[in-house]
Structure 1
Amino acid sequence: MKVGNYFIDDVHLIDVKNNFSIIEIASMFLEQGLDSFIVVENKKPIYIITQTDLIYLFFKNYQNKTLKEIIEKFPKKILTINKNDDVYKAYKIMRGAGVEHLIVVNENGEVIGELHNKDIVMKFVEYALKDEMTGLNNKRFLETIIKRYNKTDAKIGAIFIDIDDFKYFNDTFGHEIGDKVIKSVAKKIKESIREIDFAFRYGGDEFLVLIFNQEKEIVLKIANRIFDKISSIDDEIFGKIGISVGVAMYPDDNKDLEEVIKLADENLYLAKEKGKGKIESSS
């Protein structure tokens, strides 16, 4: 997780050579609705002015002072992070210094953006609950969903999906192409469901979809839609992808959601035993 993937490049810079007065800078804040200005010299950060700074300067009657005078009177330590550094390093710096953002610089030390603590925290949460390769939810998040909805009145359809003969793709084309197969399947799954439903990468080539508040007939239609979309893939390198699918319903098939997911998995393997490339559901 590199800083370069997460910083905000919409930053506002003031070149120190302009040497604006504080009242002029305050006008810029009001006109542009800003939170801060980064002061640069030869594109490198030397100071930062925030809304809080302006309030203090006006309170102390420094509004007619120039930027250079303020920098000299109230020196600051400028915290920066290189765009190629790890996000965890940035988080540790912010936490240690008690600040909410860092100035992001390139290899030459020139300002290219800002990194905000709230954005990092959200990325950490997302990283903890998402599968990095596919962007689908992971099993840790599934555990949360099970705890949230188990033994409730919710109606949930569980669709278990497994790529048929996945080993063939890895053995024939290599693991990089195998990863492409997994990503392709994940993409089609996401295209097939609503925002209120959940898709998980359950294991290496296994996926789970939870469909909320739909009757079994609709859940089966969604399972068929997923099946058809994945079956439509015809890649120029690896060709077609076959899948087997198992479906079960909560609470119709079992009043324990975890057991329903296991039942969907069992139905999936029943589909494989019947020749693969099929959808099986509980009667």
Structure 2
Amino acid sequence: MNKKFSYSKIFDELAAEILNILKEIRKNNQALDKKVLIEYLNKNETINQLLKSNNCDLQIDEVRREFFNILSKVESILPNDIIDDFKKDIDKTRDICEFNSLFIKILNAFATYLIKVINTFNKVWDVLKETLKFMEVSNDKIFDLIESSKEVFIEEIKNNENLDLQLEKIEKETKLENDLENLKKKLLEKLSDIKKNLKETQSHRKHQLKKLENDVNKVKEEINKYKMQIQQLQETIKQFKKEAIIDTLTSIYNRNFLEKVLPEEFEKFKRYNQALSVIMLDIDDFKKVNDNFGHQVGDNVLRYISTVIKNNIRKVDIPFRYGGEEFLVILPHTNLDQALVVANRICKELNETLFKIKGLSLKITASIGVTEARDSDTVESLIKRVDDLLLKAKKEGKNRVLSG
């Protein structure tokens, strides 16, 4: 192989370059999205050289090895179903000249997923910073409110004390005064002063209470504002978690989630002696669909298959896109006979459907394997058995259900 050209080496360089670009985008306060990243990548000399280069004289087996090496570098980052799709693309690619576009697809998936993770992290970090700032400001405001409330109470106590003193003075003067007219006059003067002081105190108190009320409302508004931001952040994290377990094309669970759920369901089967069955489905001749009708039609077929599966299973059953054109369904509390009924329903619905595309008819069928978990099983042996049954269904003519 030409020593001057290496996909694996170029990927390492571009991965490092992408990280530098992301730092530059952040430094320039630009929106971190796919469009901006593509603009930066288009200016990159290494990638432009790759796109212009002619690598059609390279050995295909050695290129495949390089591509599998690239996947090993990103398999801990990208979802398993995406990695599986790329592996199948590598195996299916027969023309050495097509590897450039596949390389760009892998690079794009890596960058897109990285952007998604960084954007989610940035949102979390921004809200955390705002929340900390709010807590600091709110803390000061709450202390101010407490101090203001304290001042109101202190003033109220002082006013009551003054009022007591005035009343005591009146009482003493009343006892000492013998002239009723003079006493009346003095009493009226004192009462007028008390009334005036009470009126002034009342007005001042109303002003203080109004200010306190306004300050409390401002704090409440800020608390509600940050509550909404935290709720939005929770929704963002929830969506990100969903995207991490949902296959974006078919809207059913992905293989990443399968690797979490299947061991849990298998543990329930072992611990509680509950029946557990698994269905594995593979679309027959799917490559021909893509080759003859295009990938857009192929994507529509995958979406249709996932819809058929969902329409024929219960709410407790869990469907997954296993990778490429393969699907898997976990059926808790289901024995082999019951699982066969479900698999045959799916097969029947597929056989009754005919796609019409540009005046041509397209019939989609699938080969299906069905098995029930056994006491001697492990998760791996369960998957292997259902996979072997699916392959046997393929060898025996496709468009059929086999169980064992």
- The answer for the alignment partner of 1:168 in structure 2 is 288
* Pairing of 1:56-67 with structure 2 (within 5 A): 64=210
- Is residue 372 of structure 2 the alignment partner of residue 256 of structure 1? no
- The answer for the alignment partner of 2:363 in structure 1 is 240
For residue 234 of structure 2, what is the amino acid of its counterpart?
K
- The answer for the alignment partner of 1:275 in structure 2 is 397
The answer to whether the 8 Å contact 1:163/1:243 transfers is: yes
- Is residue 259 of structure 2 the alignment partner of residue 143 of structure 1? yes
- The answer for the alignment partner of 1:15 in structure 2 is none
- The answer for the alignment partner of 2:332 in structure 1 is 212
Q: CA deviation at 1:200?
A: 0.5
Distance 1:115 1:251, change over 3 A: same
The answer to whether the 8 Å contact 1:159/1:210 transfers is: yes
- The answer for the alignment partner of 2:303 in structure 1 is 183
Distance 1:58 1:213, change over 3 A: same
Q: CA deviation at 1:63?
A: 7.0
Secondary structure at 1:208's aligned position in 2?
Answer: strand
The answer to whether the 8 Å contact 1:161/1:207 transfers is: yes
Deviates more, 1:224-233 or 1:169-178: 224-233
- The answer to which structure has the higher strand fraction is 1
Measured against aligned partners, the alpha-carbon deviations of 1:83-107 in whole angstroms (never above 9, x if no partner) come to: xxxxxxxxxxxxxxxx5544xxxxx
Distance 1:63 1:235, change over 3 A: farther
Distance 1:195 1:63, change over 3 A: farther
Distance 1:123 1:185 in 2: 24
The answer to whether the 8 Å contact 1:244/1:278 transfers is: yes
Distance 1:64 1:205, change over 3 A: same
For residue 256 of structure 1, what is the amino acid of its counterpart?
T
- The answer for the alignment partner of 1:198 in structure 2 is 318
Measured against aligned partners, the alpha-carbon deviations of 1:105-131 in whole angstroms (never above 9, x if no partner) come to: xxxxxxxxx971121121111111111
* Pairing of 1:1-283 with structure 2 (within 5 A): 64=210, 99=226, 101-102=228-229, 116-151=232-267, 152=270, 153-237=273-357, 239-251=362-374, 254-282=376-404
Distance 2:398 2:320 in 1: 21
The answer to whether the 8 Å contact 2:265/2:332 transfers is: no
- The answer to which structure has the higher helix fraction is 2
Distance 2:368 2:348 in 1: 11
Distance 1:175 1:115 in 2: 38
5+ residue gaps, structure 1: 3-51, 81-98, 103-113
Q: CA deviation at 1:154?
A: 3.3
Q: CA deviation at 1:264?
A: 0.7
Q: CA deviation at 1:64?
A: 4.0
Distance 1:101 1:243, change over 3 A: same
Deviates more, 1:229-238 or 1:131-140: 229-238
Secondary structure at 1:122's aligned position in 2?
Answer: helix
Higher relative contact order (CA 8 A, sep 6+): 1
Distance 1:193 1:63, change over 3 A: farther
Distance 2:356 2:327 in 1: 24
For residue 372 of structure 2, what is the amino acid of its counterpart?
M
Secondary structure at 2:369's aligned position in 1?
Answer: strand
Q: CA deviation at 1:149?
A: 3.0
5+ residue gaps, structure 2: 1-31, 33-137, 150-207
The answer to whether the 8 Å contact 1:251/1:257 transfers is: no
For residue 117 of structure 1, what is the amino acid of its counterpart?
L
The answer to whether the 8 Å contact 1:200/1:207 transfers is: yes
For residue 123 of structure 1, what is the amino acid of its counterpart?
Q
Q: CA deviation at 1:58?
A: 8.6
Distance 1:233 1:222 in 2: 17
Measured against aligned partners, the alpha-carbon deviations of 1:21-54 in whole angstroms (never above 9, x if no partner) come to: xxxxxxxxxxxxxxxxxxxxxxxxxxxxxxx99x
The answer to whether the 8 Å contact 2:389/2:403 transfers is: yes
Secondary structure at 2:393's aligned position in 1?
Answer: helix
Distance 1:155 1:268 in 2: 21
Distance 1:63 1:279 in 2: 78
Distance 1:116 1:168 in 2: 44
Deviates more, 1:256-265 or 1:142-151: 142-151
Which TM-score applies when normalising by structure 1? 0.60
Q: CA deviation at 1:230?
A: 2.2
For residue 147 of structure 1, what is the amino acid of its counterpart?
P
Distance 1:196 1:137 in 2: 13
Measured against aligned partners, the alpha-carbon deviations of 1:230-276 in whole angstroms (never above 9, x if no partner) come to: 22222222622110000111026x52133112111110110110110
